[in-house]
A and B are shown apart, each in its own frame.
Chain A
Amino acid sequence: MKSCVWVSKNGRVSEADGIQPRDALLFATGTATSEDLLLQQRIAAEQNIRLIRSRLAEATRR
């Protein structure tokens, strides 16, 4: 999902477009959640472990 920026100003939320006042509150939706990132990190860690083990096995095989 493409992320989108929203702005809260004068007590109302709308899609942020163009210059916003300094006291506006900005936030985005559609960005990665902690669960998305945790899953990505776990997959990457598992791949790294597999690569390191296979390389070490190859490197120490006689």
Chain B
Amino acid sequence: MGKTKIFISSVSEDGLKPLRRTAFRELESLGHEPLMWEENLGPWPSYLNPVEKCLEAVGESDLYVLFIGTKAGTYDPVSGITVTHSELISALDKGIAALVWADVQVKARFFASVAYRLDAYIDRYVEETGQYPDNGRLLDFLRTCEEADAHVDPYVWLLLYDLRQRGIYVEDLAAAVPIDWKSYFSDLLRRGLLLLPLEPSIMDNSLRLEQAGQSFDLMTALLPQVRLEPPGSWADWLATVSQRLQGRQVKHAYGSWSRETVGHYEACNGASLYRHEGGELRFVACCGQTSAVRAFALDDQSSYVALTYGMGSRAEGVYYKEARQKFFYCVRSGPYVATFHFPAGPSWSNLRYMRYKDSVNNAIIGPNTQMIRLVSLFLGGMRQ
């Protein structure tokens, strides 16, 4: 029967050594297989990189346990993170469950003040530069931050900040209070037992997802081979599509993990369709809250319809107009340009759009990729 491998991670600081030793013994006595540097990991021959070997061991474990005290450990200026932090990232990246404890006083200070000072600093930095500050800058800030106790290595605050950003709960670590491993493992067992019986349902769902993907691929392969008659009502056709385009939040990603909601857009409330005919883009139909313009000249640079058409036969783009407080998603397929209109949330302005253009683009297009592909193929396949 397989034993649970538990990687015990922490900085090698004197204050945490007894805790690590006790944890190792207790986990072993409970029938698990703990892995820890001082006990059964390394030393390795000099030609092997100990950090890489530790990361390998993290990857082979079933559970990652982290103790955070006041020391940060070895900091790698090239990657901008500590070895302990890279172990945590590696565990989370591989989908390994993590249990984290932090010194009760450090944790209290972090959540009472340091976290908010970091939030404010990062917000200000992003506002001024449009970029997320790298760890070097954050460490410089923490060295001057009055709330960040001088006896705590600045990187410890960054590690806690990362854990908060990822939504990982941090338990209190107090010297006189032993860790109740039995309770933690009983809870983990309960959670695992809730999921394990669902194996057939999860497998069924994954199979159906694959089948849905294969059906979509088949449809996208077949559609270009046929010619379609235009629908009886283009307005109904547009409404059928636009009713499915929901409003969403716009999230901006800073690196791989940090994400911030920078605004939202509402559900599509109007759509229009234009067709290249007689040297101009002629109105075909519209639905919802949009007005019809009879035609646009092909070189009309004030029109998102003409601009999209001019970008190529399969062009698409998201436009923003502050005066109308709307985003317009336009897609060209052959002679057609379809436009879908989304009211922008109140936070949007020209400057904000310019700063978060990629996030707006991904937020509008990302949830609708398959629908957009179908719209494009249907329009492209219409008999002329």
Q: Which residues of A are in contact with B by a Cβ distance under 8 Å?
A: 3, 5, 8-13, 16, 19-20, 22-29, 31-35, 37-38, 41-42, 45, 49, 51-53, 55-56, 59-60, 62
Contact = CB atoms under 8 A, between A and B. Distances in A.
Nearest to A10: B302
Chain B interface size range: 35 or more
A49 B199 CA distance: 13
Given A26-B353, A35-B373, A8 B361 contact: no
Nearest to B354: A5
A34 B373 contact: yes
B302 A45 contact: no
B365 A8 contact: no
B202 A52 contact: yes
B372 interface: yes
A34 B206 contact: no
B322 A16 contact: no
B24 interface: no
Interface of B: 1, 95, 192, 196, 199, 202-203, 206, 209-210, 213, 300-302, 304, 307, 316-323, 331, 350-351, 353-354, 357-358, 361-362, 365-366, 368-370, 372-373, 376
Given A34-B369, A37-B366, A55-B95, A25 B302 contact: yes
A32 B95 contact: no
B79 to A, nearest CB: 24
A7 to B, nearest CB: 8
A24 B301 CA distance: 11
Given A34-B368, A37-B366, A19 B351 contact: yes
A32 B358 contact: yes
B302 A8 contact: yes
Contacts of B373: 34-35, 38
